[in-house]
């Protein structure tokens, strides 16, 4: 998440926020080439965003719009590395809030929201963001979305009615642990997904560690 340093009012009574200055680009910008991102990089980004979601959820807040446009890749000069930051909490709220606008339309981004959010039901929980992150990771690795549709309405209908396209359709090489973790996060029934962001992060960490071990052994 972006760091918030101070909230207050100026001498003239105007409200202000002092936030962390970010240097870099949005994940969506990095994905504009239409080519899948490297597996190691994709897992690293997903784990950092999952860690951010853990903090958000611990505060009782759901983001409800996790997608590449809302993920910023910050070039951190202190840590000398790129750090993934979760931005844009415009749709954030607690689990008790209704997801419908005054016009009674579903709030969220078609293609990245799970069936329960697409239907505009009450009682959303952390698994709404698990799904959004799962879609984002799927897209990083395939340059495609797990559901198809030419319009937002078609995407919403597809997400509600049909299971997501298996990631192995685009990436047969991801059969096994990587694909299994991602497809579990994309389960139509939320009780079949990882229970929370921490569970997803830990599963991804185990996958990443297994890949590193396999790579090391392959060099011996």
* Closest by CA position to 63, among listed 86, 96, 85, 44: 86
Residue position matching structure tokens 């209704």? 98
Entry field: residues in the chain: 220
CA–CA dist 188, 130 (Å, integer): 12
Between CA 8 and CA 15, with CA 9 as vertex, the angle to 5 degrees is 90
- Which residues fall within 8 angstroms of residue 73, CB to CB, at 6 or more apart? 24, 25, 26, 27, 30, 45, 82, 83, 84, 85
Task: Confirm whether 76 is a catalytic residue.
Answer: no
Q: How far are the Cα atoms of 33, 114, 122, 190, 193 from residue 125, in angstroms, in the given order?
A: 34, 11, 9, 9, 12
CB 1 within 8 A of CB 56: yes
Say what the alpha-carbon torsion angle 138, 119, 57, 91 is, to the nearest 10 degrees: 90
Catalytic residue among 65, 125, 180, 215: 65
CB 177 within 8 A of CB 210: yes
Report the catalytic residues.
65
């Amino acid at each position: 998440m972006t760091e918030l340093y101070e909230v207050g009012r100026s001498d003239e009574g105007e409200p202000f926020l002092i936030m962390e200055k970010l240097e870099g680009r949005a994940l969506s910008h990095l994905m504009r080439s239409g080519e899948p991102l490297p597996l190691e990089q994709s897992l690293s980004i997903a784990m950092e965003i999952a860690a951010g979601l853990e903090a958000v959820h611990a505060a009782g807040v759901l983001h409800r719009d996790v997608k590449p446009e809302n993920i910023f890749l910050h070039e951190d000069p202190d840590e000398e590395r790129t750090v993934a930051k979760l931005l844009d909490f415009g749709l954030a709220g607690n689990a008790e809030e209704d997801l419908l606008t005054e016009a009674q339309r579903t709030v969220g981004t078609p293609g990245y929201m799970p069936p329960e959010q697409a239907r505009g039901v009450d009682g959303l929980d952390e698994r709404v963001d698990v799904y959004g992150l799962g879609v984002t990771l799927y897209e990083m690795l395939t340059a495609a979305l797990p559901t198809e549709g030419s319009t937002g309405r078609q995407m919403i209908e597809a997400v509600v009615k049909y299971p997501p396209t298996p990631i192995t359709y685009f990436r047969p090489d991801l059969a096994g642990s990587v694909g299994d973790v991602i497809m579990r996060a994309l389960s139509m029934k939320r009780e079949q997904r990882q229970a929370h962001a921490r569970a997803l992060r830990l599963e991804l960490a185990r996958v990443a560690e297994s890949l590193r071990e396999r790579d090391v052994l392959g060099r011996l």
